[in-house]
Structures are given as structure tokens and as C-alpha cells.
């Protein structure tokens, strides 16, 4: 009632779960907010899978009507209460923000999306973030926090970047704040030329032939569809047709990003669209930011699970070609960020493990540190810098320049990584599921069931 516009795809209220720090914890004043992930939905997908927005609205990824009174946050390894798995915040206050808006937490439309003969859909990602953070501040004691870290995986990582500075502005000046975005970076594979030296893959004949697989990542072309300047597609991303006229959509993106891209592309609608995408948003984030990504992300590379010997060679060629561009592209974004904000702490970890996100502590670099170790060091240095320590803003870059497949890049065996992602794809194409029409009573979601079938850690995470 306090936040009437904060809602899931189906119109049910936004929701979250809290695990309080142990009473004896020395870190009881510290908070970590976990933006749940779960892919993005579209209207043009088959309505039999959760990739379709109307279908998703009937499941826990689009509704809070399935929410149990209690939820085991330890089922997510990075939020485990075990110090061996989650060394930095195992004894902090932990919050899981339930992902149910279908658009990466990023898109906020005041008006519902109504298609003939279908139930209305509500894209309220920004409103949900705002409502949950304000509730934590006013009703759960986060206004007294000494530290607040936002962590997002996949779709949650997109939301963490898009709302990074907005959340910081909501917190007390006495709270240290940082953002971790894991597995959310996607290059722009558009054919439309950008500025000189910006599009590291624009001259690749091989990648241009993969448009069938990569069109969702052609962000600039999809944005130009808004103003009729791109002949390639026509409004394939669901809310794009509503961007120009909705009164809320501009409010929940970074104004500096919008101003910069409006000057560059001449159309504000195009700028607003692109500022929902980490590729374009990262250079404008001023809050301390730590980015983790894999060069061989198994979510958007359909090639990594190919087993036919003939196609395996081709899959390796394509995966390595794209992986090279992913790393180079992100480092370009990092350079632009540092040019714009030299006094903003930034950490970047690029690995060559075949995985998506949440491989916390499972990836080890040449200096002996894991990705979790790298963050812990950066967090400590950044906090000391924030408190007034001398020196420049902490910057860190760790990169595994290894080819796919790389058995030694992960602590987790490659076969387990690939199988884990295969099961996630199986979930995305799941036609049954726990939805409003089923009589399922298990408190465990279909998403949890799929994830737990292959546990990359090999141990209980609680």
C-alpha cells in the first residue's frame, strides 16, 4: 500500500527476504543486498516457456504469489552463512530481492503493457528497487548500516549496475557502499557502426554470420528501431515500443548516461533504451564498482555444450573468437569509465572458465587468488580509501587469457560447468513449472530444483 507502483509482472507486490546477522557477529551493522537473477522475458517468445512474459507472469519469476514465509538464503552459494564459501559477508545481514519484473530490474514503465486478449503486464523494476531499499531503511534498520554492498548475478547484475548510483543516493553518507555485478556484461554485437575504435567486433565476418544467435545483443540496432533508423529488426525487445512516451522510463536511468548518449545518437529515446544496458551504463557509474564476467559465458554462447566432434572444433573457434571480443570490449568500457571518473574505485575480473555467474571462490588466477579473494582485497582497500587513507582510488584488473575449453581455469570441472548451464537452459524452456494453475505444494521452486541438480561446489551451501 505504501508503494502502489512496486509490483511484479502480474501485478502482485514486490517482495524480499532478510536473514539477520547473528547476534554475536561483529559485522551486525553490515548489509549485503542480493539482486536475484533469472533471465529476461520477451513477448515474442513461445508462450509455453518462462522466456515469454505472459507465461512468466504465471510463475515465481513473474509473481510474488508463490513466495513462502521463509526462504533458505544459503541455497545461493555466494550468500552462504559458511565462511569458507562466503568469506566477506557470511555473518552480515543478508537480503534477497526477489526478481519478478522480467526485465533485469532495469525497465520502469508507469503504464501497463496490454495486448489484445492477454492479461496486462507491469514492468516496474526501478520502482521495486526503490520500494525495497526504502523499506529496509525505514523498517529494518539499514539506515544505521556501516556498510552496504549490492550484489547481482545475471539479470540481477544488470539491475545492480543500472541502479548503482540511485541506491547510493538513498543511503546515509556514513554508510560505505559498493556494487558487485556478476555475469551481467554483454557486448553490443550491432552491425551499425559506432564511434571509431569502439566496436571491437564490427569487422568480424565470422561474428556477422552469427546474427541469428546474437540478435538480442545487438543493442544499438534494437534501440534505433525506436526511431525507425535500423532496417534489421522491429521492436524485438518488449517494452521498446513504449519507451518514448512513458513518464517513468527516463526517471530510473542514469541522467549522465542519458545526456551523453543523447548527444551522441541525437535521440533521447535511443539513449534511455541503451542506458538500461551495462555496456553503455558502466562508464557513467560513480559508485565503487566491481565487475566479474567470463569470456566464455555459457548463458549466451549456445556453442559450449556441442558434443558432435565435427561441430566441437567449430564451437571452440566461435567461442574463442567471441571470448576475445568480450574481454577487449569490457576493457574498453573500463577505460572510458576511468577517463570519466578517475576517482571512482573499480575492480574488474575476467576469467576463462565456462560458466555464467555465482562461481564464487571457484576461479583462481595466476597470483593464487580466487575471484572472492580479489574482491575481499579490493573491498578492504576501497573502504580504507573511503575512510581517508592516502593514495588514489583502488583499481584492480585480473584477467585469465586462456582459450576454451580450459580445464584448469575453474576449481569446478569443465564438464560440471557445462552440465550446470545445460540444466539452466532446460529450466528456461520448461513448460510446466510451479505456476498459478498448478497444484504444486513444494516450497522449493523449479529454479532451485534445476540449480541443485548440479551443485558446482559439491557441498551444502547453508
DSSP 327-375: HHHHHHHHHHHHHH-TTS-EEEEEE--S--S--TT-BB-TTS-BHHHHH
pLDDT of 69 over the 70 cut: yes
CB atoms within 10 A of CB 426: 11
Q: Out of 119-128, 165-174, 363-372, 417-426, pick the least confident.
A: 417-426
| Interval 287-338: pLDDT, tens | 999 999 999 887 766 555 555 666 667 778 888 888 888 899 999 999 999 9
Ordered by start, the domain boundaries in the chain are 16-194+283-453, 195-282
The pLDDT > 70 percentage for the chain reads 73
What pLDDT was estimated at residue 311?
A: 65
| Mean confidence (pLDDT) of the chain | 81
Cα–Cα distance measured from residue 250 to residue 242, given in angstroms and rounded to the nearest whole number:
11
Q: Out of 97-101, 156-160, 230-234, 317-321, pick the least confident.
A: 230-234
Cα–Cα distance measured from residue 241 to residue 90, given in angstroms and rounded to the nearest whole number:
43
What pLDDT was estimated at residue 421?
A: 60
Cα–Cα distance measured from residue 301 to residue 282, given in angstroms and rounded to the nearest whole number:
22
Q: Let me know: does 35 contact 161? Beta carbons within 8 Å.
A: no
Helices 125-139 and 155-162 pack at an angle, to 10 degrees, of: 70
pLDDT of 208 over the 70 cut: no
Q: Let me know: does 181 contact 37? Beta carbons within 8 Å.
A: no
Nearest to 254 by CA among 283, 225, 228: 283
CB atoms within 10 A of CB 3: 16
pLDDT band at 121 (very low <50, low <70, confident <90, very high): very high
Q: Let me know: does 193 contact 224? Beta carbons within 8 Å.
A: no
Q: Which residue has the cell 541438480?
A: 453
Cα–Cα distance measured from residue 306 to residue 312, given in angstroms and rounded to the nearest whole number:
6
- Cell numbers that stand for 249 in this block: 522510463
What pLDDT was estimated at residue 202?
A: 45
Q: Out of 33-42, 400-409, 440-449, pick the least confident.
A: 440-449
More confident residue, 214 or 331: 331
pLDDT of 165 over the 60 cut: yes
The pLDDT > 90 percentage for the chain reads 46
What pLDDT was estimated at residue 408?
A: 84
- Cell numbers that stand for 9 in this block: 509482472
What pLDDT was estimated at residue 456?
A: 41
Give SS3 for 278.
Answer: helix
What pLDDT was estimated at residue 226?
A: 65
What pLDDT was estimated at residue 229?
A: 52
| Interval 420-453: pLDDT, tens | 566 555 555 544 344 444 433 333 344 444 434 3
Instruction: Tell me the C-alpha to C-alpha distance, in Å, between residue 362 and each of 127, 179, 225, 266.
Output: 34, 20, 40, 44
| Interval 220-266: pLDDT, tens | 767 766 665 544 444 444 445 556 677 788 899 999 999 999 998 88
pLDDT of 160 over the 50 cut: yes
> Please, what's the b/e burial string for 401-420 (b: 16 or more CB within 10 A of its CB; e: otherwise)?
ebebbbeebbebebebbbeb
Phi, psi (degrees; rounded to nearest 5) at 346: -150, 135
pLDDT of 210 over the 90 cut: no
Q: What is the DSSP string of 369-415?
A: -BHHHHHHHHHHHHHHHHTT-SSSPPEEEEE---PSS-TTSBSS-HH
pLDDT band at 189 (very low <50, low <70, confident <90, very high): confident
More confident residue, 405 or 172: 172
Amino acid at each position: 500500500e505504501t508503494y502502489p507502483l512496486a509490483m511484479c509482472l502480474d501485478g502482485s507486490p514486490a517482495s524480499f527476504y532478510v536473514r539477520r546477522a547473528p547476534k554475536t557477529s561483529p559485522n551486525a551493522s553490515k548489509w549485503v543486498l542480493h539482486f536475484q537473477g533469472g533471465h529476461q522475458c520477451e513477448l515474442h517468445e513461445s508462450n509455453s516457456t518462462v522466456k515469454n512474459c505472459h507465461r512468466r507472469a504465471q510463475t515465481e519469476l513473474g509473481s510474488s504469489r508463490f513466495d513462502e514465509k521463509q526462504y533458505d538464503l544459503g541455497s545461493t552459494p555466494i550468500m552462504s552463512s559458511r565462511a569458507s564459501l562466503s568469506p566477506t559477508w557470511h555473518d552480515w545481514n543478508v537480503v534477497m530481492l526477489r526478481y519478478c519484473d522480467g526485465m533485469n530490474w532495469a525497465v520502469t514503465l508507469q503504464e501497463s503493457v496490454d495486448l489484445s486478449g492477454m492479461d496486462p503486464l507491469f514492468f516496474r523494476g526501478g520502482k521495486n528497487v526503490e520500494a525495497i531499499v526504502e523499506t529496509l531503511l525505514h523498517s529494518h534498520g539499514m539506515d544505521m548500516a556501516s556498510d552496504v554492498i549490492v550484489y547481482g548475478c545475471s539479470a540481477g547484475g544488470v539491475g545492480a549496475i543500472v541502479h548503482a548510483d540511485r541506491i547510493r543516493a538513498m543511503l546515509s553518507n556514513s554508510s560505505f557502499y559498493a556494487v558487485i555485478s556478476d555475469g551481467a556484461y554483454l557486448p553490443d554485437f550491432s552491425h551499425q557502426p559506432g564511434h571509431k575504435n569502439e566496436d571491437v567486433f564490427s569487422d568480424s565476418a565470422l561474428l556477422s554470420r552469427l546474427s541469428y544467435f546474437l540478435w538480442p545483443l545487438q543493442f544499438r540496432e534494437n534501440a534505433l528501431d525506436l526511431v525507425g533508423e535500423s532496417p534489421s529488426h522491429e521492436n524485438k525487445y518488449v517494452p521498446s515500443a513504449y519507451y518514448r512516451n512513458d513518464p517513468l522510463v527516463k526517471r530510473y536511468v542514469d541522467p549522465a548516461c542519458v545526456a551523453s548518449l543523447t548527444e551522441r545518437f541525437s535521440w533521447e529515446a535511443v539513449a534511455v533504451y541503451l542506458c538500461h544496458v551495462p555496456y553503455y551504463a558502466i562508464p557513467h557509474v560513480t559508485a565503487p564498482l566491481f565487475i566479474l564476467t567470463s569470456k566464455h559465458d555459457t548463458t549466451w554462447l549456445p556453442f559450449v555444450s556441442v558434443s558432435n566432434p565435427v561441430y566441437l572444433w567449430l564451437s571452440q573457434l566461435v567461442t574463442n573468437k567471441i571470448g576475445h571480443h568480450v574481454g577487449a570490449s569490457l576493457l574498453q568500457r573500463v577505460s572510458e569509465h576511468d577517463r570519466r571518473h578517475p576517482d571512482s574505485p573499480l575492480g574488474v575480473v575476467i576469467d576463462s572458465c565456462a560458466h555464467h555467474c555465482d562461481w564464487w571462490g571457484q576461479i583462481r588466477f595466476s597470483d593464487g587468488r580466487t575471484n572472492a579473494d580479489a574482491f575481499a582485497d579490493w573491498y578492504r582497500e576501497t573502504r580504507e580509501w573511503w575512510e581517508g587513507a592516502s593514495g588514489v582510488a583502488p583499481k584492480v584488473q585480473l584477467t585469465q587469457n586462456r582459450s576454451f575449453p580450459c580445464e584448469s581455469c575453474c576449481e569446478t570441472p569443465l564438464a560440471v560447468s557445462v552440465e550446470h548451464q545445460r540444466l539452466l537452459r532446460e529450466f528456461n524452456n520448461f513448460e510446466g513449472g510451479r505456476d498459478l494453475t498448478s497444484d504444486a505444494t513444494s516450497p522449493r521452486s523449479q529454479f532451485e530444483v534445476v540449480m541443485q541438480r548440479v551443485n558446482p561446489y559439491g557441498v551444502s551451501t547453508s
